[in-house]
Amino acid sequence: MQKTLRMPARLLVCASIGAALALAAGAGAVAVPADPPTAADQITVDGTGGGTLQLPSYRGDTVSFRVHATTDADTPWAAQGSIAVTHVRPDGTVLADFTVAVDCLMAGDDVAVISGKITRGGAPGLPGDEMGHQIGITVADHGRRDHLGWSWYVMGFLDTRPCTSTAPFFPTTAGNFRVEGP
């Protein structure tokens, strides 16, 4: 013989009302917009810097970088800003002078990786057509002892992936960069 369990009527009514209220609340729920980004949610890299190269093929050449880039921490691929690069031989020959439109920015602690496409200028002292190529730089903010890295030193002006570059191998001797963000 099977035993049938019966719910007391009062409990059944309470359970039904609770379910109805839960459904009604869900149907009328309004999405609460996320808080707008604050300065604490932003990543920013600003500054100028450079110095004299000691790399074997470029010993004595001077390089300078001017960087302004910003993005929301949650959307590194929506970065905006620019990078300007100049590379001059000791005899005054310009090897590179170009501007980059920033498209990606990521940072951790005091190090940022910034990438973008070359939109103006090029590298007249080097073979190839640099216009439109994707490059990347790395900025390590160590107060007045900053370091830089740049993708084209390792792989020429072949396109890099967004937000990629090299280790910051070059110690700057002039200027100062500031990396701020979460």
- Give ∠ CA 13-14-15 in degrees, rounded to 5: 90
**Helix/strand/coil percentages in the chain, nearest 5:** 20, 45, 40
Per-residue pLDDT of the chain (182 residues; tens, 9 = 90+): 444 444 444 433 344 444 443 434 444 444 445 555 555 689 999 999 999 999 988 999 999 999 999 999 999 999 999 999 999 999 999 999 999 999 999 999 999 999 999 999 888 866 667 888 999 999 999 988 999 999 999 888 888 999 999 999 999 999 999 999 87
- Give ∠ CA 109-177-36 in degrees, rounded to 5: 60
